[in-house]
Amino acid sequence: MTEQPNILLIEADQLTAFVLSIYRPGGQAMTPNLDALARDGVVFENAYSNSPLCCPSRASKFSGRQPSSHEVWGNGAEFRSEIPTMMHFLRSAGYRCVVSGKCHFIGADQLHGFDKRLTTDMYPSGFDWTIDWSKGPEHRLGTSTKKLEVSGLCRTNNQLLYDAEVQFRALEFLRHEALAQPEQPFFLHVSYTQPHEAYQSIPDYWDRYEGVEISLPEIPEDADPHPTTEWLKIHHGIDQYPPDEETIKLSRRAYYAMISHLDDYLGELVAELKHLGLYDDTVIVFTSDHGDMLGERGMWFKRTFYEGSLQVPMIFHAPGRFQPGRVTECVTLADLCPTLAELGGAKADSDRYGSADSASFLSLLTGEGDSRKDEAISEYFGPGVIEPWLCIRRGDWKYVWTRNHADVLFNIADDPAEQHDLTGDPAHAGIKDELCARLLDRYDVETVTARAVDSKKTRMFLHSALEGSEGYHWDYQPIFDATRQYVRGINSPSTA
């Protein structure tokens, strides 16, 4: 076992924790390979997204920063090249950093420290998806529950085609480049687009749920919805296209089938590591960028701070390094940046150039040294809501603050379904004030909000001015030189 392990970071898109049996007994998604990874790994029971939306969440994961710092406010905001990432830190320690799949980088820099991308990205890299807050809550067809009308079986779709390429390229990298350069540790990020909506799958996975009584949401409607919930219901079109019971069951079954598809991909990657002799010296990390409400409280998709949307699965697997078990401390995706940097021997650079927004939790894995703070902070300046929205989870408590609107306090241990707001209870005034101060004392919220609003307006102008221009093309084009493949390749590994 070498001092610098290989690192395989596997990421799902919009995979909520509550459908997995490793997080909730009775979770209906069938995931034998993920279950096996969890049995021999370290399961983080309270891992959270720093912003329940693709681009901000992924920017936080890569950089260790909050949205207020990296300023990726939504899915149309640029991730600046000057921000150090986990890839920069690992490269400084001698790693080769490669990604197969989705990063959702916006802007001309489509690498951010990766040596190589094996696929293009899934979505546009320009300012196309910038949304102005000034219009108030408005329905967006691209993120509408109208999509649920197509939930179920399909022959194929963009997501299936994309993930098949992601898997092929990842296996190809392991079989060729990783095997040909055993002296250099690798960081391989494999990032799928399933089980993001639209919820569709093929018979191989759909049929695994034949005869299973797909459960309906435990809380079909929110009895006293917060204004943010009302905004999101407009944004997602839930008020216009409320799904009926049959549609909900079809959507959930297809979502589970997509997860089973990913689980097979995970099994293939693990089997290939074993076959190539790389397994014992590779740390496998599995997570997601955010969750999905799946109809709970009448809500769908992500963007909310309720557990279904905000909590993510997180598993570290390296039985030779980390004692299998479960961790209850709160961590975030942003904490992966300093953690993986420290794991790879780049702690000094991460400490110097990283962010105070995150902290390494390697000690929770090794059992050595002091534990990090038991805290997870999330921020949302994206589409669907019209005010800045902040959340903190510390220990058993979750506190949510919305500018110009009521705040919310839950005790997650006593009230995991988040149905009893405790902000009006004098007995909990102390913890509420403490958590509120922790959120608001980090920076001036009005200044940050003004930056976010100005950025949205500027990007909308830039997109309208550049649309149709030959130079406005930042989407990544992977480069493959077929003339140097197979026997023609200088570094072709032996077939022995």
pLDDT in tens, 413-464: 999 999 999 999 999 999 999 999 999 999 999 999 999 999 999 999 999 9
**Is 463 annotated as catalytic?**
no
Sheet of strand 408-411, all strands in order from the earlier edge strand to the far edge:
375-380, 389-394, 397-402, 408-411
Considering the domain boundaries, does residue 455 fall inside one?
A: no
Domain of 103, in residue numbers: 6-375
% of the chain beyond a pLDDT of 70: 97
Rounded mean pLDDT of 341-355?
96
Considering the domain boundaries, does residue 46 fall inside one?
A: yes
Rounded mean pLDDT of 244-271?
98
Residue 496, pLDDT > 50, answer no
Considering the domain boundaries, does residue 438 fall inside one?
A: no
Give the β-pairing of 397-402 and 6-12. unpaired
pLDDT digits (tens, 9 = 90+) for 272-316: 999 999 999 999 999 999 999 999 999 999 999 999 999 999 999
Considering the domain boundaries, does residue 395 fall inside one?
A: no
Q: Where residue 148 sits, what CATH number does that domain have?
A: 3.40.720.10
pLDDT band, residue 495 (cuts 50/70/90)? very low
Query: Domain total for the chain?
Result: 1
Considering the domain boundaries, does residue 487 fall inside one?
A: no
In this structure, the dihedral spanned by the alpha carbons of residues 409, 413, 416 and 420, taken in order and rounded to 10 degrees, is -40
299 close to 52: Cβ distance less than 8 angstroms:
no
Which residue of the set 70, 88, 104, 235 is catalytic?
104
Rg (CA), the chain: 22
Considering the domain boundaries, does residue 417 fall inside one?
A: no
Residues whose CB falls within 8 Å of the CB of residue 13, separated by 6 or more in sequence, listed in order: 54, 102, 191, 192, 193, 194, 195, 196, 288, 289
Considering the domain boundaries, does residue 458 fall inside one?
A: no
What type of residue sits at position 6? N
Rounded mean pLDDT of 315-329?
95
pLDDT digits (tens, 9 = 90+) for 115-152: 999 999 999 999 999 988 878 888 988 899 999 999 99
CA distances 284 to 40, 317, 322, 438, Å, are: 11, 5, 11, 33
pLDDT digits (tens, 9 = 90+) for 66-102: 999 999 999 999 999 999 999 999 999 999 999 999 9
**Is 54 annotated as catalytic?**
yes
Rounded mean pLDDT of 43-70?
98
CA distances 111 to 68, 84, 98, 163, 181, Å, are: 22, 12, 9, 19, 21
Considering the domain boundaries, does residue 210 fall inside one?
A: yes
Largest interatomic CA distance in the chain: 74
- CA 51, distance to chain mean position in Å, is 9
